């Protein structure tokens, strides 16, 4: 009788029992959400790569990236720096 009770408790409470299975289901759901977010980010990056590809170069996107990454400014443009008065 004690052996049956012990095995029953292990099946319900043990690491490989019902409680462990529920923990794995929760972890699986969390990892699935993380995977979906990474897939969406990857799709966005692929879209950016396609916009910069040789086949269909988007000049507006290229201009935006050059300004952001390299800090480039056009010859006919003026740079305005806004300072925070709280920092003075």
CA distances from 78 to 13, 63, 67, 72 (A): 69, 16, 13, 12
Unique residue bearing structure tokens 């935006």 = 64
Residue-wise pLDDT tens digits, 14-69 = 677 777 788 899 999 999 999 999 999 999 999 888 888 777 778 888 888 888 88
* Global confidence as pTM: 0.55
Cβ-based neighbours of 52, under 8 Å, separated by 6 or more? 58, 61, 62, 65
């Amino acid at each position: 009788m004690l052996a049956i009770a012990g095995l029953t408790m292990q099946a319900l409470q043990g690491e490989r029992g019902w409680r462990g299975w529920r923990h794995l289901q929760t972890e699986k759901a969390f990892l699935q959400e993380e995977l979906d977010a990474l897939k969406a980010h990857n799709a966005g990056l692929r879209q950016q790569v396609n916009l910069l590809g040789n086949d269909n170069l988007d000049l507006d996107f290229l201009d935006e990236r050059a300004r952001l990454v390299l800090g480039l400014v056009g010859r006919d443009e003026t740079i305005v720096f806004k300072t925070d008065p709280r920092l003075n």
